A and B are shown apart, each in its own frame.
Chain A
Amino acid sequence: MTYSAHFRIWRGSAAGGSLQDFDVDVSEGEVVLDIVHRIQATQAPDLAVRWNCKAGKCGSCSAEVNGRPRLMCMTRMSVFTEDEAVTVTPLRAFPVLRDLVTDVSFNYTKAREVPSFAPPEGLAPGEFRMQQVDVDRSQEFRKCIECFLCQNVCHVIRDHEDNKPAFAGPRFFARLAELEMHPLDTVDRRKRSQEQHGIGMCNITKCCSEVCPEGIKITDNAIIPMKERVADRKYDPVRWLGARIGRRGDGGAEV
């Protein structure tokens, strides 16, 4: 059941590059990453590509396949017809390093700007008690494999490079929501969600949720509730305080 597929892979560096054509064998059950590896092993040994687990667990192999942001290891060749050319290009929102490898350091920078989890003072390890229903919500966001496909697809940064400093992106809105909804976290991150992380710039297009390989409902379950909480804080701080007494103040801008 082998056939020959036509691949077009972007090759180049920050200085520029172009699509290169490859004809390559495809066997039953293979995924795009298998084919890229075959090209590497037989035709272009220096073709740069990131990958790790080959099972959709590590979030390394993100690229755009026929223009759609995807994990190459979870994109089966059977979704294409045999005579369809398969075009693989690097993530567009991040600077290219080489071929399919991009500089994703933006995301690590943003990660550092989110104030860390802070449990109540004096609660010793081993004494944490939380109900499953109360951790369900945050667990959804902790499924994130940091593939950054959502970051890549979000038009706020995809089309506007200059927004990057002021916008953390959907991955980190999910992180903020995760901490905000953690039953034992004591920091209030609502003010900075708006002021430092730019959640207000999101106009709920849901493109991020659509590409998330983990099926995290980023917009519905993280961003919208966060926006509501931010608004809540703005308009009715007393009610919020009543509900979450004992929490420390806003995470502040110093981290």
Chain B
Amino acid sequence: MGEHERHVYDVVVIGAGGAGLRAAIEARQRGMRTAVICKSLFGKAHTVMAEGGIAAAMANVNSHDDWQVHFRDTMRGGKFLNSWRMAQLHAQEAPQRVWELEAWGALFDRTPDGRISQRNFGGHEYPRLAHVGDRTGLELIRTLQQRIVALQQEDFRQHGDYEARLRVFAECTITELLKDGPRVAGAFGYWRESGRFVVFEAPAVILATGGIGKSYKVTSNSWEYTGDGHALALLAGGSLVNMEFVQFHPTGMVWPPSVKGILVTESVRGDGGVLRNSEGKRFMFDYVPDVFRAKYAETEEEADRWYADPDSNRRPPELLPRDEVARAINSEVKEGRGSPHGGVLLDVSSRLPADVIRRKLPSMYHQFKELADVDITAEPMEVGPTCHYVMGGVEVDPDTEGAVGVPGLFAAGEVAGGMHGSNRLGGNSLSDLLVFGRRAGLAAAAWVESLAGDSPAVAADDVTAAERTALAPFRDGTADNPYAVHQELQQTMNDLVGIIRRAGEMEEALDRLERLRKRAAEVAVEGHRQFNPGWHLALDLRNMLLVSECVARAALQREESRGGHTREDFPKASAQWRRWNLVCRLDATGQVSVDRKPLASMPPELLGLFERKELASYLAEDELAGLPEQPTGGGPR
């Protein structure tokens, strides 16, 4: 193994999206020599696509907002399955993280008094999303990218080398984590450009690899979303939690076919857009669940008044949490009230003047004009659900983001689980990236310091084995091509473990996954190692298949409907099931096992933020015993 390129760092961050960059900045600011590794070019990670905004209770637009209200909304959105501690830290720290971006050069849209403007979003009680038009993710990633550059400039001044303490390894894919006993010791990967292998030695590794959407056919996610971090954690002995919860965003493009799945931001609804079926009816009024009934308008008139006067009116049902809206659209289409291409109609054209639409939603205007020949200032958009986000992820300690069971391994951002429970609110991901990215960087630095030089070592055999695995697809023969296996995987997950689930179908999915796994182990790729997408996909298949199996197994086991997991055969939420997390691991033979693990219970001061009546719709009888009748804090409800 001596011939491989090797790098030694204190902290290696895998992923250069919001979470990875924020983690790297923190580790470097704590004096760690830090590497950031990513599959794409620097500044192109998936985070760049985020549109709507970053949720943070800064109370710039509505002074009633505070972290307790944000916490409450997050728990409601996640149907009380969230890690309460993560939800608390997130709500408390998000404002600081947003303000800090401004000090690094971000330019958010402003309020009339010159502060950061905040917009309404589904499930958020007050206008809470800091944004820049509908390109917030670009602003976030560019700001963090430029902060990294600023730190590199500092190093250049001090050491004459931009990369003395912080280096970005772009277009480099990690395929294995390396360990020394139970501890993490580094990572193994290849340069996409040359196909050459590279070994990173580091006592701390932070996974920030994002999501899994590329296992689904209709998705808003890019090719990067192959669940690499999820799979790497599993293979390294870590566990995944909440994998059955996959968010289908209610509004993806449906036409033309080549853009099916591309996101239509929720801001369209936050800024006044409404959903109609083929009969012209605002159907969302028929889909307000009991737990939310008191908070949502009952008439179109009231809903319309809310935009101007939110204090004395209730919000429109188009702004229910995403899982509710996605299911409603699904039902409308199924019952024959869909739009010509199998979606529903999302209309802003009759609600806002054309110039306001172009100013507030410039990239949506652009996207529909360029890709679908639709002028959203003059006609409605056709939209339908699209696989968007995975709530499930690496099981971590809420305060340090340390992966359970693997010392030295951390996870932050979409790859980590727990924070969002069974359903994520819009805008809560970008804030999650910043809050927990920073915390992971901090904890990784503390971990490295605590080792006091007792660093783990990379074993030569592990590197040889990693190399062998990576080269395996260059086999002779006429076996499957990886693109074919990938397409079947996507179809399987879309059809059988999608938005509405049934036991029989999930069992069938598991059978098919088993067969696909065998085929994936035999795929053959052509050409050589230099920038070869066929080879890259062949290696990604292992990860996608592992993660898909976790989703299917956990979904089959959870016999209730909650958030991003809807069972036709168990249509109601169960207070008993709410007490359990499902945790996936790999057993000694490499098989996925799923175990129940009790959810940590919320301390009384946080329970006290809710009315007992509301708690009663989530918790079991015995959990309610002893709780006060009236809420004990947290401003107006």
B-binding residues in A (CB < 8 A) = 13, 27-31, 34, 40-42, 45-60, 74, 76, 97-99, 101, 104, 108, 111-112, 115-117, 119, 123, 125-126, 128-132, 135, 138-139, 142-146, 179, 182, 254-255
Partner of A54, one of B262, B363, B372: B262
Partner of B483, one of A40, A132, A182: A40
B525 at the interface (CB under 8 A from A): yes
Inter-chain contact total with CB atoms closer than 8 Å: 173
A143 to B142, CA, bound (A): 10
Name A255's closest neighbour in chain B (CB-CB): B153
A130 near B114 (CB under 8 angstroms)?
A: yes
Contact A146 to B43, CB < 8 A, known contacts A31-B371, A53-B222, A130-B110: yes
A55 to B223, CA, bound (A): 13
A28 near B256 (CB under 8 angstroms)?
A: yes
B104 near A117 (CB under 8 angstroms)?
A: yes
B149 near A116 (CB under 8 angstroms)?
A: yes
Contact A45 to B526, CB < 8 A, known contacts A101-B531, A108-B42, A112-B152: yes
A116 near B146 (CB under 8 angstroms)?
A: yes
For residue B149, which residues in chain A have a CB less than 8 angstroms away from its CB? 111-112, 116
A219 to B137, CA, bound (A): 26
A30 near B258 (CB under 8 angstroms)?
A: yes
Contact A45 to B481, CB < 8 A, known contacts A59-B44, A135-B110, A142-B132: yes
Dominant secondary structure of chain A at its interface with chain B: loop
List 29 A-B residue pairs with CB atoms under 8 Å apart, sorted by A's residue number: A29-B256, A31-B258, A40-B483, A45-B483, A45-B532, A46-B527, A46-B535, A47-B533, A54-B259, A55-B259, A56-B363, A57-B138, A98-B193, A104-B41, A108-B42, A111-B149, A116-B105, A129-B115, A130-B107, A131-B110, A131-B114, A135-B107, A135-B109, A139-B107, A143-B135, A145-B138, A146-B44, A182-B107, A255-B157
A76 near B370 (CB under 8 angstroms)?
A: yes
A49 near B533 (CB under 8 angstroms)?
A: yes
B113 at the interface (CB under 8 A from A): yes
Extra A-B contacts (6), CB below 8 Å, given A41-B483, A101-B531, A255-B156: A29-B372, A52-B48, A74-B371, A126-B96, A130-B107, A131-B114
For residue B526, which residues in chain A have a CB less than 8 angstroms away from its CB? 45-46
For residue B43, which residues in chain A have a CB less than 8 angstroms away from its CB? 146
B255 at the interface (CB under 8 A from A): yes
For residue A46, which residues in chain B have a CB less than 8 angstroms away from its CB? 525-528, 532-535
Q: Mark B196-222, 1 if CB is under 8 A from A, else 0.
A: 000000000000000000000000001
For residue B115, which residues in chain A have a CB less than 8 angstroms away from its CB? 129
Looking at the assembled complex, report how far the CB atom of B90 sits from the nearest CB atom of chain A, in whole angstroms: 18
For residue B58, which residues in chain A have a CB less than 8 angstroms away from its CB? 126
A98 to B318, CA, bound (A): 47
B180 at the interface (CB under 8 A from A): no
A182 to B525, CA, bound (A): 50
Looking at the assembled complex, report how far the CB atom of B12 sits from the nearest CB atom of chain A, in whole angstroms: 20
Name B108's closest neighbour in chain A (CB-CB): A135
A104 to B170, CA, bound (A): 11
Looking at the assembled complex, report how far the CB atom of B135 sits from the nearest CB atom of chain A, in whole angstroms: 7
A57 near B525 (CB under 8 angstroms)?
A: no
For residue A125, which residues in chain B have a CB less than 8 angstroms away from its CB? 96, 99-100, 102-103
A48 near B49 (CB under 8 angstroms)?
A: no
For residue B152, which residues in chain A have a CB less than 8 angstroms away from its CB? 112
B491 at the interface (CB under 8 A from A): no
Partner of B153, one of A30, A31, A115: A115
A240 to B466, CA, bound (A): 61
A125 to B434, CA, bound (A): 15
B576 at the interface (CB under 8 A from A): no
Name B145's closest neighbour in chain A (CB-CB): A111
A128 near B371 (CB under 8 angstroms)?
A: no
Q: Mark B106-149, 1 if CB is under 8 A from A, else 0.
A: 01011001110000000000000000110101110010001101
For residue B157, which residues in chain A have a CB less than 8 angstroms away from its CB? 254-255
A248 to B623, CA, bound (A): 61
